[in-house]
Structure 1
Amino acid sequence: MPPASSPDLFGERLSAATARICDAVTAVSASNPVVIIDGRSGAGKSSLAARVARAWPLHTPVQLLALDSVYPGWGGLERGAEIAREQVLRPHGRGLIGIWRRWDWERQEEAEAHAVDPALGLIVEGCGALTPASAALADVAVWVDGPRDSRRRRALERDGDGFCRHWDMWAAQEEAHMTRNEPHKLASITVATP
């Protein structure tokens, strides 16, 4: 008889979600599908995106853009999502090369530029990524969420004290995004992590 609860329920949920997303990507029947993964901090977006990138079901490689690389500072959730939409997702949808600049968190300024090939698939992950405007550019839209205490523990284990003092401000931006855009309603796949 199997145990009542698994010691790695988080990993199991991400594995199941990865399989669902890969099936959805295959069903798109395109060489350059776009997957957008949104969710609250610590819910598992980055881990899920990395798993999907490793398991990418197409023969061509996939590009991964984490909004953590784009947000212009701790107050930049909405602006980071706009940058991804206007400079990466829209050009990709038009068959044009997209360009984004990495945010240097230490210097608090833009750093080097990165190109996104429109011929290849694309995963964009980060809080704020899924809006009505970006959903129109996505082939697969994913919402990831979990209990606040679990999310906070995972986020602080990952980012440490640097994130701890910004948690409340960031959570307020997440709430504003959820109220304004209702990303959970735009998602074709919803993932609940423990």
Structure 2
Amino acid sequence: MSSAHSRSSADPVSHALDAAVSAVVEGVKNVGAANPVVLIDGRSGAGKTSLARRLVAAWPQRGRVQLVALDSVYPGWDGLVEGVEYARSTILVPHARGLLGIWERWDWDAGHRAEAHAVDPSLPLIVEGAGMLTPATARLGDVRVWVESPAASRRERGLRRDGETYRPHWDQWAAQEEAHILRDEPAQHATLVVAVP
């Protein structure tokens, strides 16, 4: 057993993410398609981005997997709903129809959309971000993941990651997440619910 594995196993967050990756990989294998779509939702700081990055590294199929983080799509601090709809219409719908999807990154400093990115419908796709699982998006995802995590842990991770930039907006964003949970019941649309300490 390597020392890296030992350290990972000793860290409960890392251990939970490893287990989640294994479960998602099994789900991807069971889809049996060359271009499956994985949607990852959860509140800020829950571990969505870490899960998505680990999943890319552990992807069970040959070739490239595309990863889109909704943090690059949301149009500002009030943009959870609008960002998810933008991702649905410009990324998920074209992918499902076998068409090239084009989305533009949101420049948080300039306050407008910036350079364009393409999504190849022939390749697998992971889209991660708060708000991602809704009745409208769920039908476009083959493997749908809801990540649960305690509020204190999420806040500590979120603020450690984004620092003082995020702190003034934490409650504003959390209110949008809460509205999403009440309105869309994302866990009900998940094929897999994972817990991260």
TM-score band, normalised by the shorter chain?
over 0.9
* 1:85 aligns to 2:56 (yes or no): no
Alignment of 1:51-70 (within 5 A): 51-70=54-73
3-state secondary structure, aligned to 2:71: helix
Q: CA deviation at 1:145?
A: 1.5
Q: Which runs of 4+ in 1 moved over 2 A?
A: none
Aligned CA-pair RMSD: 0.7
Query: Aligned partners of 1:75 and 1:117: how far apart in 2?
Result: 29
2:112 aligned residue (106, 109, 112): 109
Gaps of 5+ in 1: 1-5
* 1:155 aligns to 2:152 (yes or no): no
3-state secondary structure, aligned to 1:42: coil
Counterpart position of 2:175: 172
Counterpart position of 1:191: 194
* 1:32 aligns to 2:35 (yes or no): yes
Structure 1 residues 136-184: Cα deviation after superposition (integer angstroms, max 9, x where no partner): 0110000002110000000000000110000000000000000110001
Counterpart position of 1:146: 149
Query: Aligned partners of 1:128 and 1:18: how far apart in 2?
Result: 20
Query: Aligned partners of 1:132 and 1:13: how far apart in 2?
Result: 27
Q: Name the aligned partner's letter for residue 79 of structure 1.
A: E
Higher helix share: 2
Counterpart position of 2:3: none
What TM-score do you get using the length of structure 1 for normalisation?
A: 0.96
* 1:8 aligns to 2:24 (yes or no): no
Structure 1 residues 106-165: Cα deviation after superposition (integer angstroms, max 9, x where no partner): 111110000000000000000011101111011000000211000000000000011000
Aligned-pair identity in percent equals 59
